[in-house]
Structure 1
Amino acid sequence: MGAAPAAVPGPWPEWVGALRLIDHHCHSVVGAALDPAGFGALLTEAPAPAPGADPFDSAVGLAVRRECAPVLDLPAHAPAADYLARRAELGVAEVTRRLFAASGTARLLVDHGYRGDDLLGLDELASVAAAPVDEVVRLEAVAEQLADAGVSAEDYPDALATEVHRRAESAVGCKSILAYRYGFDVDPSRPSPAQVGVATDRWLTQRARDRAARRIADPVLLRHALWCGVDAGLPVQLHTGFGDPEEDLHRANPALLAGFCRATEDTGTAIVLLHCYPYHREAAWLAHCFRHVYLDVGLATTYVGYRASAVLAEVLELAPFGKVLYSSDAFGLPELYLVAARAFRRAVSEVLGGWQHSGEAAEADVLRIARMISEENARRLYRLPVAA
């Protein structure tokens, strides 16, 4: 595993197909067969498609039929029913293997803290993807696991810090879903031990009374978990912008993180803004102004279809090229890995290739910037081994 993937053919120059992709934020995939309803539920960020609506009638649905069908020996744009039938005929293992191979993804940095029991384990994912897999620790999941294990309110604050540090020893990054659980309009400073103690006692008491209170949602405890991640010293990823309906989108605007970026600027810990759309210009501003802030437009490039090039171009208006990373944020379906990878390659070809064609950048610079975004920035940021 880890050898350079073969150049990926497509409607782009050869140098684009030869880019190695480090997917710096993604999830695992389902290992069991899916019926049409199960497949459709994973093709949207909504809890489920609207009644009577076909989940393939979307930009990402069109992309699956266009990009994935030929990999399964069907013509591009094959009808959805034919695609699903062929998928079932080949079997999930063969489909997954083919789609990963076609994506040209060389390494996966995986958040396995959400519905992990429903997905392939990290070793299984590495095998089927034929690529190295590294873990990104989801901070809120660690907190909830400690509470499930019966930690006391008195011990919880130090126990969480200790456990995050322990898991960080074998991981490459940490991740917070503060945007989902509360929003970014919180005090950005580190909460005091007294604040954490009071909030912990309240949370654990609520959990004992009501199973629905299992999830960590108190803003003080979310801040405490986030700062535990900062203290661990690994890059801290933050979901921002587009996501499922559990978040209030306007409170997931990365511009609200300016105070947190100021508070963490001298810690030595990198802050990585994930997804960002439709606030990708605000995220690009943060990356421009704060030396420790990085970003991607993963997930967005999958779901906006042919507009992926516009999103990438808008990010590169302000963001330093050495701070932009590739990700898919694929979850559940291996199709999403391929759709994201091909959308990214197409965007790179159109945006950076366009710069060269118009004289805005020399060919050598275009190639260098493309390699930075697709692989080298992630390798440097997460201290990954140099590719063979």
Structure 2
Amino acid sequence: MTANRSASLKDLRSVIRNCPVIDNHAHNLLLPSQLDAYPFESITTEAQGPALKDTFTSLSHMRAAKQLRELYGCNADDDWDHVLEKRTEWLDHRRDELHRRCLEGIQTILVDDGLGSAEHVHPYDWHSQYTTSSCKRIVRIETVAETLLEEMLENATEDDIASEEYMAGTWIGFTEAFESEILRALHNPEVVGFKSVICYRTGLNIEPDYEECVVKVGPSFGHYVARCVDRGNYRISRKALNDFLVLQTLEIISIRAADNDSLSKPIQFHTGLGDADLKLVRSNPAEMQGLIEQYPLVPFVLLHSSYPYTREAGYLASVYMNVYLDLGEVFPMLSKDGQASIIRQALELSPYSKLLFSTDGHFFPETYWLATKQFREVLEEVAVEYVVKDVLTIPQAIELGKAILFTNSNLLYDLNLSLTVPSSDVSSSQQSLTHNPKPNPSSSDYSTSSLESFIENNPSTKYIYLQWLDYMGTLRARILPIVEFIHIVESGSGIGISRGNTGTLQNDTVTPAVNTTGQLYVEPDLSTLRKTHAKDPLPSASVMGFWRDEDGKAIKECPRGGLQLLLDELKSEHNISLIIGFEIEVTFLHRTDPSSADTDRYTPLATNHAWGTLTPEQVYDALPLLAEITEALSDMGIEVQQFHAESGPGQYEFVLPPLPGLEAIDTLVQARQVVHQIAHTHSLRATLHPMPLPGVGTAAHAHVSLSSVEKKAVPETKEMAFWVTGVLRHLEAVCAFSLPEAVSYDRVIDNSWTGGTWVAWGTQNREVPLRRVQPGRWELRCMDGMANIYLALAAVIGAGLLGLRAREGAELSAKDCPHNPSKLSDDQRKEYGIKRRMPKSIEEALDALEKDEELKHVLAESLIEDYVAMKKVEQKMLADMEEGKRRTWLIERY
């Protein structure tokens, strides 16, 4: 994609959705009295008779049925019979409106009126009342010939047939009359082209030599006349005679073109797809190569995408100036994937200036509507894909859309129409008769423009990791090609996953939280869209997602979405916003022989190591890795404020910048991912395990600052109500999220700067779980890297909200403790309001969470129930493991 562009993807989509179309090939609609003479389900298939019953299981029918429910205003689960009933209501009471809507957006129709007798269909010009410009005729040459012969042979007898003089006169009279009709059509401004269905009759292997054809046609004509008189059937289906009609037409219009020194009126040929009346192997347009070469002044239009011979047709359109490919009938006869493949195949070789749009609409107005709707959808998808892949610039893609939909046919058929593209973002011709859909909030101009800006600045991005953190802190992802991701954003949808997937463990073990019924949708939050690091195996970007229900509404059980709801409440109800700064404490380990003893299975990256040191071992073994990670994060827009050695062997810390609540956690998740992945490229395991090696404790401290929405200091009464009355009061339950594993509690010890074992707070006190750094800024010390940080912070904020609701301005029972609580006596601790111990195990924390009715209510009771159920199954699974295997299992996952 070019950086300097005058149009956006939104402009491209708008043009394709709203550009008036010239339908270069279609047929008449049925008279009302004839509607029941043809099965309506035939609109998506060429099958007839007994084969028609199977069309209901085709992808093309099922897609069309869904769209017809939209058109008629049916319920989404209405079956086909209900669709037909609804259609009948429209035909009985609002037929004109149905016709008008189905043909809306069509500038003009070039009508081949040779399908269906005049007693069954409306005349071609009747359709002009529903189009912007008058409709024109395409003359079917076989119908001309058959009509002439029926008139000439009306009174013929068997004696006439036996007379050579009669047969010779009939032949001469027929050829003269046929030539006269073709010439009349050439001069008729209502006729813009011709058509042959020789593909149906005898195939496309047409004799290219006119003189050779004339020699062969005599006996064939005699047999044809005899059959007509004997049976009254005037259908021409003898090869020599059918070939002659095509060649005679080509001769006449070619001579006319030569006289005017210009191309003639085009001739359309049915190619490829058709009902069982044709022989598929004889419908390949490659059979026509010699014929095309013989008449270079006659434009050949290969109809119906020549499916399944689209590539052959594209080749002919690319090497012969006078060949054009119509992209019709496969809409709506094929699946959506098949349709996209057809457009891609056509564009593989054929210039887009040779491609034409048509509906092949016939009999039923819905055929026009479905074809136009589906063609716009698929053309938009392919055009956007080519822009994203840097195959086309946006202006080029816009011109491609206009050319195929309008300009090419306008020039080829010499229609002299003016093109005006409405500015409306959604064409009314794509809407239903009864419903104007409301735009989805996720498809806002902001979302669209931010995505376009990202694509423009990162043109090499081909894939998107759509990610979410599950209850167990496992990062889940779906990988989407960029084109599909754009479609999801533009449509305001998400990727559907079973609700049951939210109830499985890290290794997909099923828990009681699994519900096999129901669906949720992961919707990308474009504010989190970042390119991945240079060593990612895919040219990609990552984006975090929200869980949404089927109506697009937020799900409170979503870890990320639930946190956002609490942040919104904190802001709207209490005028408080949060700024959070995270430290990534990580230990880099070498993997040794898996068969070695547990204590030797991992060795640290550096052993000559202490807090804040840079020993030669660290400088040469660790520092290049740390710098590579920091530079990769910087390239992604994550600026590390500092990094340094922590106290444990192989343990380092990256300090991330303080950011608004949700953004800070999103950044943490994406940054950790980079740390893990780049370490892996160096054959190292980067782990957040709270005790990866004996004596090495790893935390995930969060610095949380409260400020008013106006960026002013929060009153101390609110600050204390939030942290002390709220968070401290519910801290045991909060630990179920912030210290989520049995091994997490190996760090809940005294005299180790890990937060201690008492529920307390203190200014600049590292032996309490809540450290007040300065007014308005607090450090949560009782959290490690195994936590789902969204859930952990949601629990903190939920507890803080409870404190604001209950105790704002009240006297605090817990006071600022300047000492190590473990060094105080019981009476001294009582002076500071220190009465409770931190949980000693995950089981104690889960028990506290289950009993904390207030916190359960402010979060979501169903979330708590599922989380507790999953943790119990997980802890049983881990407890059943041998200790060494358990440690390895956790190190490799966190």
Fold conserved (TM > 0.5)? yes
Question: In the alignment, does 2:216 pair up with 1:203?
Answer: no
Match in the other structure for 2:299: 270
Out of 153, 170, 182, the position equivalent to 2:171 is 153
1:37 and 1:384 map into 2 onto residues whose CA distance is: 33
Match in the other structure for 2:80: 80
Letter in 1 for 2:225: L
Q: CA deviation at 1:93?
A: 3.5
Q: 1:5-16, aligned counterparts within 5 Å?
A: 13-16=13-16
1:358 and 1:75 map into 2 onto residues whose CA distance is: 38
CA shift in 2, pair 1:27/1:279, >3 Å: same
Match in the other structure for 1:5: none
Q: 1:182-197, aligned counterparts within 5 Å?
A: 182-191=202-211, 193-197=214-218
Match in the other structure for 2:115: 114
Contact 2:318/2:349 (8 A) holds in 1: yes
Letter in 2 for 1:324: L
2:99 and 2:116 map into 1 onto residues whose CA distance is: 19
Question: In the alignment, does 2:232 pair up with 1:220?
Answer: no
Q: CA deviation at 1:21?
A: 1.0
Contact 1:176/1:226 (8 A) holds in 2: yes
Contact 2:44/2:333 (8 A) holds in 1: no
2:245 and 2:398 map into 1 onto residues whose CA distance is: 39
- CA deviations over 1:97-156 (Å, ceiling 9, x no partner): 22222xx22110110012133222112222245652110000000000110111622311
Question: In the alignment, does 2:280 pair up with 1:280?
Answer: no
TM-score, normalised by the number of residues in structure 1: 0.89
- CA deviations over 1:320-368 (Å, ceiling 9, x no partner): 1110000111211211111111221112111111111121111110001
1:292 and 1:83 map into 2 onto residues whose CA distance is: 44
Q: 1:302-313, aligned counterparts within 5 Å?
A: 302-307=332-337, 308-313=339-344
2:25 and 2:290 map into 1 onto residues whose CA distance is: 24
- CA deviations over 1:3-40 (Å, ceiling 9, x no partner): xxxxxxx9x93222122211101111123164597323
Contact 2:125/2:136 (8 A) holds in 1: no
CA shift in 2, pair 1:239/1:320, >3 Å: same
Q: CA deviation at 1:195?
A: 3.9
Match in the other structure for 2:199: 179
- Residue 172 of structure 1 aligns to a residue whose secondary structure is strand
Out of 287, 299, 302, the position equivalent to 1:256 is 287
Contact 1:183/1:252 (8 A) holds in 2: yes
- Residue 274 of structure 2 aligns to a residue whose secondary structure is coil
Q: 1:288-303, aligned counterparts within 5 Å?
A: 288-303=318-333
2:66 and 2:103 map into 1 onto residues whose CA distance is: 16
From the two aligned structures, give the one with the greater strand fraction.
2
- CA deviations over 1:199-224 (Å, ceiling 9, x no partner): 33332232112224x11112222122
Letter in 2 for 1:94: E
Match in the other structure for 2:607: none
Unpaired runs of 5+ residues, structure 2, are 1-9, 154-169, 254-263, 420-894
**Total equivalences in the alignment:** 372
- Residue 283 of structure 1 aligns to a residue whose secondary structure is helix
Question: In the alignment, does 2:237 pair up with 1:236?
Answer: no
1:352 and 1:43 map into 2 onto residues whose CA distance is: 25
- Residue 23 of structure 1 aligns to a residue whose secondary structure is strand
Contact 1:41/1:48 (8 A) holds in 2: no
Q: CA deviation at 1:261?
A: 1.1
2:99 and 2:225 map into 1 onto residues whose CA distance is: 41
Of 54-63 and 240-249, the range deviating more from structure 2? 54-63
Match in the other structure for 1:4: none
Contact 1:22/1:105 (8 A) holds in 2: yes
1:136 and 1:190 map into 2 onto residues whose CA distance is: 24
- Residue 324 of structure 2 aligns to a residue whose secondary structure is strand
- CA deviations over 1:303-325 (Å, ceiling 9, x no partner): 11212111101110001111000
Contact 1:108/1:133 (8 A) holds in 2: yes
- Quote the RMSD (CA, aligned, Å): 2.2
Contact 2:268/2:301 (8 A) holds in 1: yes
Q: CA deviation at 1:55?
A: 4.2
2:292 and 2:125 map into 1 onto residues whose CA distance is: 34
Q: CA deviation at 1:157?
A: 1.6
Q: CA deviation at 1:76?
A: 5.1
Contact 1:254/1:273 (8 A) holds in 2: yes
Q: 1:315-326, aligned counterparts within 5 Å?
A: 315-326=346-357
Identity of aligned residues (%): 27
1:72 and 1:116 map into 2 onto residues whose CA distance is: 29
1:76 and 1:326 map into 2 onto residues whose CA distance is: 30
Q: CA deviation at 1:75?
A: 4.2
Question: In the alignment, does 2:57 pair up with 1:28?
Answer: no
- Residue 13 of structure 1 aligns to a residue whose secondary structure is helix
Of 187-196 and 277-286, the range deviating more from structure 2? 187-196
CA shift in 2, pair 1:75/1:168, >3 Å: farther
Contact 1:26/1:331 (8 A) holds in 2: yes
1:35 and 1:173 map into 2 onto residues whose CA distance is: 31
CA shift in 2, pair 1:128/1:317, >3 Å: same
Contact 1:255/1:283 (8 A) holds in 2: yes
Question: In the alignment, does 2:197 pair up with 1:166?
Answer: no
- Residue 155 of structure 1 aligns to a residue whose secondary structure is helix
Match in the other structure for 1:96: 99
Match in the other structure for 1:70: 70
Of 282-291 and 12-21, the range deviating more from structure 2? 12-21
Q: CA deviation at 1:250?
A: 0.5
Greater Rg over alpha carbons, structure: 2
- Residue 174 of structure 1 aligns to a residue whose secondary structure is strand
2:227 and 2:15 map into 1 onto residues whose CA distance is: 56
Match in the other structure for 2:432: none
1:41 and 1:371 map into 2 onto residues whose CA distance is: 30
1:310 and 1:347 map into 2 onto residues whose CA distance is: 9
CA shift in 2, pair 1:128/1:31, >3 Å: farther
CA shift in 2, pair 1:361/1:44, >3 Å: closer
Q: CA deviation at 1:64?
A: 2.6
Question: Using CA pairs below 8 Å that are at least 6 residues apart, which structure has the higher relative contact order?
Answer: 1
1:83 and 1:131 map into 2 onto residues whose CA distance is: 32
Contact 1:16/1:345 (8 A) holds in 2: yes
Contact 1:36/1:84 (8 A) holds in 2: no
Q: CA deviation at 1:248?
A: 0.4
Match in the other structure for 2:885: none
1:272 and 1:114 map into 2 onto residues whose CA distance is: 18
Letter in 1 for 2:106: T
1:28 and 1:309 map into 2 onto residues whose CA distance is: 27
